[in-house]
Amino acid sequence: MRRGSAAAVVAAAVIAGTMVPAMPAVAVHGAVPGDFDGDGYRDLVLPVPGATVLGYERAGAVVVVYGSSKGVSSASRRQTITEGSAGVEGGVGENDGFGTSTATADLNRDGYADLVVGAPDDEGTTRILWGSRNGLTKGTELPTVSTAYPDRNGLDVAAAGLGTGSRTKVLIGGLQLTDVYKGPFAKDGSYGDSVTVWNRDAIGSVALGDFNRSGSPDQVAFGTLRPELSGSPIMVNHAGTETWPEPLEHGNGLIAATGDVNGDGYADLVVGDPLEPVTPGVDGETGGRVLVYRGSKNGITRTQVPEVITQQTAGVPGTSEAGDRFGGGLTVADLNRDGAADIVIGAPYEAVGAAERTGTVTVIPGRRSGALGTGGYSFHQDTTGIPSSNEAGDFFGTTLSAGDLNRDGRPELIIGAAGENNGNGAVFTLPGGTSRPTGTGSRVFTLETLGMAQADGWLGGKGLLRLLDAGGGTTN
């Protein structure tokens, strides 16, 4: 529930380090780094959706660590933003879950990246934090398109700025509907147009990608999680109308990411389907799978058959084992800078040695032609240089993103481990190497290094863990 706005002086005290994190709501995606202050360096986004703020438990916060020529570290300039921060519309409330989902794009096309932040338990509120020369200093609310069923809107958010007007979009996922906002966006909170797409009893995961190279982002969402399927039906809508078309005939899943995996100029749709199959080979694969739908001049068609990647695929490290949850974390980024984006896959429940559910992250290099899988490689917390070690229940690979934080042309890989430090969470940044990220020189962010109390904060977000642990159900 919403409470009153906090005074700026009190918000400043919160930012100084008096927050006590607690259990957050489920998060799906995390924002890619964005240059919020226009200095040429991308900035790291660290959600803490379970933070206690001004005495309100699970109110939520987002920490932004500003990039520099030295990258980011606990000593870098950072900013903590809550619903009580000066310049942010709204107010702090218990269980709001501010930071449950985040997305990055330059929405008003002023040269500064903006940050979209979901707070699904604050009456489905989503805010845009606007970039400026001084960083993120102002926040406005996106009004809910429909007030009839604002059931946890903001469980996931997506943003894409491909051009003027409706070529820039924000997509907000919830349990009952998906809200679509189209540009032009402005700092006063105004925007061009909006529409609600009804999506009853859904899981809330959303994505945007230009699959037919029209210059306008296409929309992706998932339907109801069905007991006869390992995941939810996948819906791709090119028109932005009030009704989703029929779902894709082949495949289902829980999370999506987009990027040009084969370098042909069309965005491809990558879907994680991490739960165990009800009918193996039909609706899922043992240990989890990832599906790749190729974009084309016709976009992604309803009858399209995806390429399937598992840990049994040639070239992919590891072995498919029941309960690995391969595909539970997902992002797409060109890590080796060859023009074909790589697929980064989290298996947060995978065991390494005797450490159960410690988690691994696998990178599948993009390819101009041929089947995906060749040249795959993986990371875990015992990888050389990563400042940690594999322990049961770390869930390394819960959330994933990538971006160049020090402007050396080599994107860092950013990995969340929601169970690290007894549920406090941690986020690891792996430097970009000559041809791929490397564990050498990795850094780790914890609640302690961010000056926050240790209390089940789930730093970095909780990803799909609640769904993965239940093996089904909804995100309630």
Categorize the per-residue pLDDT at 198 as very low, low, confident or very high, splitting at 50, 70 and 90. confident
Give the integer Cα–Cα distance in Å for 415 and 380: 10
Task: Confirm if 82 and 115 have CB atoms less than 8 A apart.
Answer: no
CA nearest to 322, candidates 352, 351, 293, 362: 351
Give the integer Cα–Cα distance in Å for 70 and 441: 11
CA nearest to 292, candidates 315, 308, 276: 308
Give the integer Cα–Cα distance in Å for 435 and 263: 17
E-state strands within 249-355: 252-253, 255-259, 268-273, 289-293, 307-309, 329-333, 342-347
What are 329's two structure tokens?
A: 């974390």
Average the pLDDT over 111-132 and give the result.
Answer: 92
Q: What pLDDT score was predicted for residue 361?
A: 98
* Sign of the alpha-carbon torsion through 455, 324, 366, 374: positive
Q: What pLDDT score was predicted for residue 300?
A: 95
H/E/C letters for each residue in 354-417?
Answer: CECCCCEEEEECCCCCCCCCCCCEEECCCCCCCCCCCCCCCCEEEEEEEECCCCCCCCEEEEEE
Give the integer Cα–Cα distance in Å for 34 and 249: 35
pLDDT tens per residue across span 410-454 = 999 999 999 998 888 999 999 999 999 999 999 999 999 998 776
Question: Who contacts 75 (Cβ-Cβ below 8 Å, separation ≥6)?
Answer: none
Q: What pLDDT score was predicted for residue 468?
A: 84
What are 400's two structure tokens?
A: 């994933």
Peptide bond before residue 21 is cis, with ω within 30 degrees of 0: no
Q: What pLDDT score was predicted for residue 146?
A: 63
Tell me the pTM: 0.92
